[in-house]
Chain A
Amino acid sequence: MSNNALIMTDRFELSGALRAAIEEEMHHYEDPRSASIEALKMVQKEHGWVPDGAIYAVAGVLGIPASDVEGVATFYSQIFRQPVGRHIILVCDSMTCFIGGHESLIDRLGEHLGIGIGQTTSDDRFTLLPVCCLGNCDKAPAVMIDDDTFSSVTPDSLLQLLEQYP
């Protein structure tokens, strides 16, 4: 969390539809707080990432402290608290994909896109992140791009796959 994260530096208005969706989600649980992760995911789906203002907005809808929402937002690896590219590349780095050669995938992406793990291309097209075992170990190595899972990926096939994500 940056030093000024507790000062609301950006205005963020939840759209009516987003607010309604979060309120709907709250009804699935005994305690509205349970909807915090889903609410952040909904914000992220619409805006790409979760800006400071959205932390306050979600906290307001759920009726919990903004610090608690920030605690959740910074804990979970698939919630992004800084801007990311239009597409997220998740490379499985678990041991089976390690044996399958996932490090060569990361190296090739580095050469081709000029980014390492945790970085975003200068044209904001891709962000590269690691992910826990994708449960696809009989077809290692596995990569996810946005919502699509790919099996038995090679450095060459990965570069071809990227073409589907402008």
Chain B
Amino acid sequence: MSLTSLGPINSSARSEEQHPLTWRLREDGAPVWLDEYRAKNGYQAAETALKQAPDDLVNQVKEAGLKGRGGAGFPTGVKWSLMPKDESLDIRYLLCNADEMEPNTWKDRLLMEQLPHLLVEGMLISARALKAYRGYIFLRGEYVDAARHLNRAIVEAREAGLLGKNILGSGFDFELIVHTGAGRYICGEETALISSLEGRRANPRSKPPFPAAVGVWGKPTCVNNVETLCNVPSIIGNGIPWYQGLAREGSEDHGTKLMGFSGKVKNPGVWELPLGIPARELFEDYAGGMRDGYTLKAWQPGGAGTGFLLPEHLDAQMFSGGIGKVGTRMGTGLALAVDDSVSMVSLLRNMEEFFSRESCGWCTPCRDGLPWSVKILRALERGEGNPGDIETLLQLVSGLGPGKTFCAHAPGAVEPLGSAIKYFRDEFEAGVSKESGTEDVATLQMDIGA
């Protein structure tokens, strides 16, 4: 059976200069093991990095302008420089967030299944920059092929002296361990990930203190996404001017990004593209537009937690500021096409069922608010909604928004809901029962919501 991640990218044209993440992929989709990876310049950046001072590495990543690829887009170099300067704090950890579970996100699976050594090399260089003696790859349990391939890559690297003690004679020691999870979306939230790695329920933690100060087992810790870490070798190997020349004109973000389109498009897939590419190019030239018989009704730029946009927004450029300009976030950069056969009320019902189920239950607005939204959306879907239901949903959108809950789970849950009501309010209104004599109940619900 071929790997799940085998897709159109394996047969697309790629070059070392323009596709630093994916140029080494094989057409047959088989994993690139150590010999082939080294033959394709693998670990040369690590050799360069091991001769440099950790702070120089941090500065290069900071100047290159790399931003986190897990969805939040925080500048990686800035995150790295938050690690304590106090040298006596010498037990430090680098955690790779490989808990890819964001609905409509299928990029880290590709990197880990087919290019495990790219992640190992990225973590080795990053660990050197952060002075971490040990790294953990927090991998979701369902990615069984990725776990197998990463573990084999780690064994290969250790046998070649690329992990372990005194790596390539540099005096730097680094161990890498794959830790697999057992479900629950919330593990991808970085402080929940730390709780889970410690063997606890995956409840998020208060920030501050930030993980850089108090992370796993109370030690300085940096958590980076798989794709973020895979960007590091080429930045160190090819330099900042090259990296900053990758993105399209007009993009404030640098480098390439794994982007994709799914839904009822002709050619769904993931590709490595320059940041700043117009979403329309991704949709039309790469994904081939909609399948015959389907019309694009709405789209989401990057995962369940991003807002819905309309077809007219396809001219937006795919980078954080470009998508920000049209009112939402780029998120993971893997877009979803919603076609005209899909009811927005049903789609949002499905999404809020997901967010509601995956709430860790730690804080009240999220634990109680999300099931409430599900209850209303189910009623609207059946055409049994009450007058005032849409207002209640909008109250939930604002009451569960940024800053109102312990972590970003609930804000991510209500962002698509708010935008769906904004653009498709008539569909929600159509779910309010015509013969509803239940105004008392509606008033009561509004009172509770107030």
- Would you give the 0/1 interface string for B207-236, flagging 1 where the beta carbon is closer than 8 Å to chain A? 000000000110100000000000000000
The answer on a CB contact under 8 Å between B342 and A137 is no
B199 touches A137 (CB 8 A): no
Residues of B within 8 A of A134 (CB): 142
Quick one: given A77-B183, A96-B104, A99-B342, are A136 and B4 in contact (CB under 8 Å)? Answer: yes
Q: Are A138 and B268 in contact (CB under 8 A)?
A: yes
* A94-B104, A133-B102, A135-B100 known; A76-B4 Cβ under 8 A: no
A106 to B142 Cα, complex, angstroms: 20
What residues on B are CB-neighbors of A140 within 8 Å? 262, 268
- Taking the closest CB of chain A, its distance from the CB of B1, in whole angstroms, is 7
- Which stretch from A5-13, A26-34, A119-127 is at the chain B interface? A26-34
Cβ-closest chain B residue relative to A136? B4
Q: Among residues 101 to 156 in chain B, which have CB atoms less than 8 Å away from a CB atom of chain A?
A: 101-106, 108-109, 141-144
Please indicate the chain B residues that have their CB under 8 angstroms from the CB of A68 in the complex.
Answer: 200
B197 at the interface (CB under 8 A from A): yes
Query: Is A153's beta carbon under 8 Å from chain B?
Result: no
Q: Which residue of A lies closest to B9 (CB)?
A: A138
Task: Please state if B106 and A138 are interface contacts (CB–CB under 8 Å).
Answer: yes
Question: With A132-B101, A135-B143 as given contacts, are A96 and B177 in contact (CB-CB < 8 Å)?
Answer: no
Most buried by B among A64, A68, A132: A132
From residue B221, how far is it (CB to closest CB) to chain A in Å?
Answer: 11
Contacts of B141 in A (CB 8 A): 41, 78
Q: Does A149 contact B (CB under 8 A)?
A: yes
Shortest beta-carbon distance, B341 to chain A, in Å? 9
- Asked whether B142 lies within 8 Å of A96 as measured between CB atoms, the reply is no
Pick 25 A–B contacts, CB within 8 A, sort by A.
A29-B197, A31-B217, A33-B198, A34-B197, A34-B198, A34-B199, A41-B182, A76-B183, A79-B183, A94-B103, A95-B104, A95-B347, A96-B104, A96-B263, A131-B142, A132-B101, A132-B358, A133-B103, A136-B4, A137-B262, A137-B336, A138-B260, A138-B269, A139-B7, A144-B142
A47-71: CB near B (< 8 Å → 1, else 0) gives 0000000000000001010001001
A98 CB–B CB distance under 8 Å:
yes
> Within 8 Å of chain A (Cβ to Cβ): is B181?
yes
**Cβ contacts A70-107/B at 8 Å (1 or 0 each):** 01100111110000000000100111101100000000
Task: Decide yes or no whether A128 CB sits under 8 A from chain B.
Answer: no
On whether the beta carbons of A31 and B182 are closer than 8 Å, the reply is: no
Q: Cβ of B339 < 8 Å from any Cβ of A?
A: yes
7 shortest interchain CB distances as A-B pairs: A77-B183, A94-B103, A76-B182, A138-B268, A78-B183, A33-B199, A36-B199
Of A98, A132, A147, which one neighbours B144 at CB under 8 angstroms?
A: A147
**Chain B interface residue count, Cβ-Cβ cutoff 8 angstroms:** 56
Give the total number of A-B pairs whose CB atoms are below 8 A apart: 143
Establish whether residues A138 and B304, one from each chain, have CB atoms under 8 Å apart when the complex forms: no
| A99-B342, A131-B142 known; A72+B200 contact, CB < 8 A | yes
0/1 per residue, B295-336, Cβ < 8 Å to A? 000000000100000000000000000000000000000101
Chain A, residue nearest B175 (CB): A28
Bound-state Cα–Cα, A37 to B141, Å: 11
Interchain nearest-CB distance for B402 vs A (Å): 21
Alpha-carbon distance between A140 and B107 when the two chains are bound, in angstroms: 15
Question: Of B101, B181, B270, B346, which one neighbours A138 at CB under 8 angstroms?
Answer: B270
Q: Which residues of B contact A151 (CB under 8 A)?
A: 4
Instruction: With CB as the reference atom, state the residue of chain A lying closest to B110.
Output: A135
CB contacts (< 8 Å) of A144 on chain B: these are 142
- Assess A96 versus B199: contact at CB under 8 Å? Given A31-B217, A137-B262: no
Nearest B residue to A129, CB-CB? B183
Q: Which residues of A contact B4 (CB under 8 A)?
A: 135-136, 139, 149, 151
